[in-house]
Chain A
Amino acid sequence: MSSFFGTPSSPPPPPPSRDPDAVKKISAAILHQNAIAKSQTFLNIAGDKCFLKCVTKPGRALTSAEETCLARCGQRYMEAFDMVSRTVTTRARQEVNNSNMD
């Protein structure tokens, strides 16, 4: 009779059943979750920035001018983010090239 704690010679417990697509599924879940987090962060920041720029004197309701401004502002903020990212990447690449020449 085998003891509850097993003996060195007892066979190892069977591995948990393997899902052949586990890696794929976990990766997809991680990427999906991060994409959600990324857009939430973006919307939070753009929301703050655009409120500051577009609703300068908050009234009883948003005016149509403010609404127009907010819509444009969201678009422009996204554009600014892309432009800044591209500029940083270009700059970083230049710095790397320069330091390689030293």
Chain B
Amino acid sequence: MSSPDSLENAVGLMATLDNEGKKVIQELLSQEAAASEFTSQMHKYTSMCWDKCITTPGNSFSRTETDCLQNCVNRFFDAQKHIIDSLLSDRKN
């Protein structure tokens, strides 16, 4: 791959960066790492809720499917909270 975007080129260029430039790239890398962590969480929720809500994928989502996907995400977070709350209250009693 010899596009100007290629990683080999970028690695070579890294050595030529001054401190200011290194800081910019480091910041971009940690932003991108956070974004990809977010994306992988979204994949987890999508996968879970897709399995629960979609039986046969049609031409477009039905109202029921849309509602189910949204409810699925919200109830998942409710469930997380509930589990944590109940575990914490068990410890107190």
Q: Which residues of A contact B (CB under 8 A)?
A: 15-19, 22-23, 25-34, 37-38, 41-42, 45, 49-50, 53-54, 69, 72-73, 75-77, 79-81, 83-85, 87-88, 91, 95
B84 interface hit (Cβ, 8 Å): no
B73 touches which of A49, A72, A88 (Cβ 8 Å): A88
> Known contacts being A28-B5, A29-B9, is A76 close to B73, with CB within 8 Å?
no
Q: Which residues on B sit within 8 Å (CB–CB) of A25?
A: 4-5, 9-10, 13
Residue of A nearest to B23 (CB): A23
Q: How many A-B residue pairs have CB under 8 A?
A: 118
> Known contacts being A18-B16, A69-B57, is A87 close to B73, with CB within 8 Å?
yes
Ordered by A's residue number, 30 sampled pairs between the chains whose C-beta atoms are within 8 Å are: A18-B16, A18-B18, A22-B13, A22-B16, A22-B21, A23-B17, A23-B24, A25-B4, A25-B10, A25-B13, A26-B13, A27-B25, A29-B7, A33-B7, A34-B32, A38-B39, A41-B43, A45-B47, A50-B57, A54-B57, A72-B57, A72-B59, A76-B54, A76-B57, A81-B42, A84-B42, A85-B42, A85-B46, A87-B70, A88-B41
Whether the pair A26, B14 counts as a contact (CB closer than 8 A) is: yes
Extra contacts besides A15-B16, A28-B4, A91-B77 (7): CB < 8 Å: A31-B28, A31-B32, A33-B7, A37-B36, A45-B47, A81-B42, A84-B73
